[in-house]
Amino acid sequence: MQSLKILVLGTAIGLVTVLPASASSSAWYNSEGGKVRLVTSGKPDQAGRIQGVLDIALKPGWKTYWRDPGDAGVPPQLDISASTNIANAALSFPAPQRHDDGYGKWAGYNYPVSLPVTFTLATPNQPAVIDADIFLGICETICIPVQTRLTVDPTSDPDNADDAALVKASFTALPAQARPDFGINVLPGDHETLVVEASFPGDPEAADFFVAGERDYMFGAPSRSEKDGKLIFTVPILDRPSTTPTDGGLHYTLTSSAGAVEGLLPFP
């Protein structure tokens, strides 16, 4: 996708404050390729967490990206630093699909998608207002970076059944945690390749492996092979940090005809 043209439209990337709707969700922000909003479940749980979604309603023929968008995409980003009593916002991602649009291979969604978000209150049992600066790419043959501010007062309509149902369905649709019979095992590789052995139910032809380039890692599209009856994914490491991180790991998603799982793998 290196040749993909980036169209910067003032109306699309200008920082726009959207006033709250009369629900536990923001108003929609409209762009050429679709519209976005924030929806919450309204009430925090006992740990001071509010579940929500970044709701992306794409127009037909448009797309947006997974947490790793490929070599020229724009991953969804959410900054809550302007919020009141919100300490953290963690985005989660449903299983992506792999696409090749002639410009390059990328992971993401070419249909409307809701990305779950977990907001954590700085001080539980105190009022909170979410002011979230959103940045994401919505692309056709032209990619339009969408930047706006979405505002939600979660208490404005905390019993909104439609909002609660959308949030619940989006979290339910997330990949399950990897397990021994559905997950990956990292095999010996080298400085330039990540090699994993995949275990999964269902048709091997339908299986795919996605790994997020984070902490200065960059990965190419995986190649597939078979060894001792197991499906092997070999992923080129296109770039890496000068020093291998020692904390955390890389997010991955493994999909099959029977569903999807996710987990962390050690830094290669």
Let me know: does 224 contact 170? Beta carbons within 8 Å: no
State the number of CA atoms in the 13 A half-sphere of 229 facing the CB: 0
Pick from 200, 170, 196: which is nearest to 249 by CA? Answer: 196
7: phi then psi, degrees, rounded to nearest 5: -100, 120
Which sign does the torsion angle of CA 17, 23, 24, 28 carry?
A: negative
Please tell me the predicted confidence (pLDDT) of residue 42: 82
Which sign does the torsion angle of CA 169, 174, 175, 177 carry?
A: negative
Domain ranges of the chain: 27-173, 175-263
The pLDDT-based confidence of 23 (bands split at 50, 70, 90) is low
Distance between CA atoms of 48 and 123, rounded to whole angstroms?
7
Query: What's the pLDDT tens digit per position in 242-254?
Result: 999 999 999 999 9
Distance between CA atoms of 228 and 153, rounded to whole angstroms?
55
Neighbours of 5 (CB within 10 A): 9
Distance between CA atoms of 196 and 207, rounded to whole angstroms?
13
Task: Find the angle CA(150)-CA(151)-CA(156) to the nearest 5 degrees.
Answer: 140
If DSSP codes are grouped into helix, strand and coil, which group holds residue 242? coil
Pick from 160, 151, 55, 152: which is nearest to 109 by CA? Answer: 55
Distance between CA atoms of 112 and 193, rounded to whole angstroms?
33
Q: What fold does the segment set 27-173 form as a domain?
A: Immunoglobulin-like (2.60.40)
CATH topology match: 27-173 vs 175-263: yes
Please tell me the predicted confidence (pLDDT) of residue 99: 84
Q: Does domain 175-263 have CATH number 2.60.40?
A: yes
Report the DSSP pairing between strands 17-18 and 142-152.
parallel
If DSSP codes are grouped into helix, strand and coil, which group holds residue 91? strand
| 209 has a pLDDT exceeding 90 | yes
Q: Kindly provide the b/e burial profile for residues 9-20, where b requires at least 16 CB atoms within 10 angstroms of the residue's own CB.
A: eeebbeeeebeb
The pLDDT-based confidence of 267 (bands split at 50, 70, 90) is very high
- Region 87-99: what's the mean pLDDT? 95
The pLDDT-based confidence of 226 (bands split at 50, 70, 90) is very high
